[in-house]
Structure 1
């Protein structure tokens, strides 16, 4: 009970500070554009995680926190393309849920028994699981000045590993169709290690990205990790595009 009260007090203090800051340094809500905070209370509700499960073509489970539409879409675009890094904290809460659900679902009964089950308090990853973020292109890094996925994951309280890099020649995915995405991403990533014997042998990863569209980006990241000897146990994304990636399964079904 004391922990709950402490959390409530902390939230009240934080809200008071944000209210004062909004008066001194006014900002528009990234979700609806009204003068308020990074995300106004109504848009924060719209960006609350409601995780669902999908699978890549090879069967790898993907947990996504939000539907990429409406307020969620506007908030993510503002964060990624308009420099609204102030929206990272509310969005990070949702990607945190997706990561934790992916980790919990990926653990086998044997793994769960060995690690105490699920994810530990304090946003610790289960033993022997690492978070690998999908790498940004050089052009994207130069344009933004930050890596959106890495910023979200770190803001959520996790420490991702820098394992993958993008091979020169890859173009932006957002204007491409399904087949073009697959072609653009084919062999577009590699591990940040010299070629040779499997440098990731024995390491197990959850691959994290911002938006799941066709699954091509996550599939290529998984291929590169597998080629280096790593194992991809699951993927997690902040949001998914319902129109392109079909219907979701329930998270309880994922855990079963």
Structure 2
């Protein structure tokens, strides 16, 4: 691609004691693109995602957002740029309902005096939550039940819809289909396509190579803390991706 990436990493390094988790890693994702980020366990995927979402300080390297260098010092700062992350643990508050989780930390106060007293506009938050779920085709049956009582698929839908609602630049999805059945997985992959079509950059972290090839535009492979290959998803194979991950293939496309 010739356009400027919405988010780019250049030469990122991060060590934990004697372990070099990121070793000069590069990464980029464009607006309206799905980039799959793959690698074996210990390749540096989680560390890279944490660094690019404001959850981890770096030893060295540059992060650029829309072409300008930024220093991501906190998740809230990343969110202010429009960078959202859905981790495997989903980070939902189980005792709150779906609408409360959607607006957690972004609550809408009631207008006027009641709002100044701290009362929340629950009706508006429920309405906007339902619109967000419907837009993504998410199956969330109740907006009033605590999410802790919901199925894994519904929880996943709420977490993704929340991130999508606030993401204006990039959304990271860490193994979003790992614990889902066939139908729920298909819904998540369809959601990823819809988010991409809205002009948001999607970073899809997954161990499922068929899902990677199905939904991604490009695939970037990490091994031992470095990006070792970049592929066009539709022009690669599962065997080629696994070979790049394991080191069986050297000199892969970039």
Q: Same fold (TM over 0.5)?
A: no
TM-score (norm 1): 0.32
TM-score w.r.t. the length of structure 2 is: 0.32
Flag the structure with higher strand content: 2
Greater helix share, 1 or 2?
Answer: 1
